[in-house]
Amino acid sequence: MTERVLELEAVTMQFGGLKAVADLDLTVDRGELVGLIGPNGAGKTTVFNVITGVYPPSRGRILFEGRPIQGLRPHVIARRGITRTFQNIRLFASRSCRDNVCIAAHQHCHAGLLDVVLRTARFEREEGEIQAQAAELLETMGLREWGDAIAAELPYGQQRRLEIARALAARPRLLLLDEPAAGLNPQETDELMHLIESLRVRFGLTILLIEHDMRVVMGICRRIAVLDYGVKLAEGTPAEIRTDPRVIEAYLGEEVPADLGAGA
């Protein structure tokens, strides 16, 4: 039986007289990898901001695993099991790669200030678990040799990977990826496509992906929703989206070749 993880019901986000998102209905089921595409300014990142509590929706409901989350603070939503990456990389630039991952993992710690000061057994146990988790995630993301490196000194493609590692450290069940392939070269993009799919399987993730690179979207997404001026224009499989006249006119510009992304 299909288990619904995320459901947006008639979600609208209005800024003054501008509707950045209008009456959006969207569902994501357990284990799915769903793409969210559209022109610049279509409202894609606004959807992520509404889901993660950056903005409360002007109206509509957002359900995560059957429970309403609209209006909750971002840190509460993160603890519920939703984490994200950003279009513009947001790392702790002056900290090491290992620290970046550990900081994200600390939100699940139960040790209090007194435990930290006294270095109690609980603190030592949790800190050891976090360090082990960080090492595992850095290994998974191909960053094992960069653990002690300062985040700002990493090559751009490695910074992208570090941001995903940090998101995974928060133990999400729903992962929101905002243009993870932006700025990557073709080889890095191919590697990222394989990595995202392997992470979905390995960690049992459900993923909602914003991406402009159609090779990525068509190659790894099982279902795609298309936004245009905040309105859902179309939704379907990659095969349906690549040939939809409305999508071609509003966004793609031409029919996407059927074999695009097939090498992923």
Q: Which residues, in sequence order, are bridge partners of residue 83?
A: 175
Range of the domain at 245: 16-81+172-256
Tens of pLDDT, residue by residue over 174-221, are 999 999 999 999 999 999 999 999 999 999 999 999 999 999 999 999
Q: Greater confidence, 118 or 26?
A: 26
Distances in whole angstroms, Cα of residue 237 to Cα of each of 121, 222, 230, 240, 259: 51, 6, 20, 5, 14
pLDDT of res. 249: 86
User: 263 falls in which pLDDT band (50, 70, 90)?
Assistant: very low
Evaluate if residue 109 carries a pLDDT over 70: no
Residue 44 included in any domain: yes
Strand segments, DSSP code E, in the chain are: 4-15, 18-29, 33-37, 59-64, 67-68, 82-84, 174-178, 206-210, 223-228, 231-236
Residues 65 and 188 in one domain: yes
Q: Are 46 and 24 found together in one domain?
A: yes
Averaged pLDDT for residues 65-91: 93
Instruction: Provide the number of structural domains found in the chain.
Output: 2
Q: What is the mean pLDDT of residues 141-151?
A: 94
Residue 11, beta-bridge partner list: 24
User: Does 184 lie in the same domain as 65?
Assistant: yes
Q: What is the pLDDT, as a whole number, of residue 157? A: 93
Q: Is the pTM of this model over 0.85?
A: yes
The answer to whether residues 154 and 177 belong to one domain is no
If asked whether residues 75 and 191 sit together in one domain, one would say: yes
Question: Which letter, b or e, does each residue of 15-37 get, where b requires 16 or more Cβ atoms within 10 Å of its Cβ?
Answer: eeeebbbbebebbbebebbbbbb
Q: Domain ends where: 169, 197, 224?
A: 169
The pLDDT tens digits of the residues spanning 153-185 come to 999 999 999 999 999 999 999 999 999 999 999
For the cut 80, the answer to whether the pLDDT of residue 114 exceeds it is no
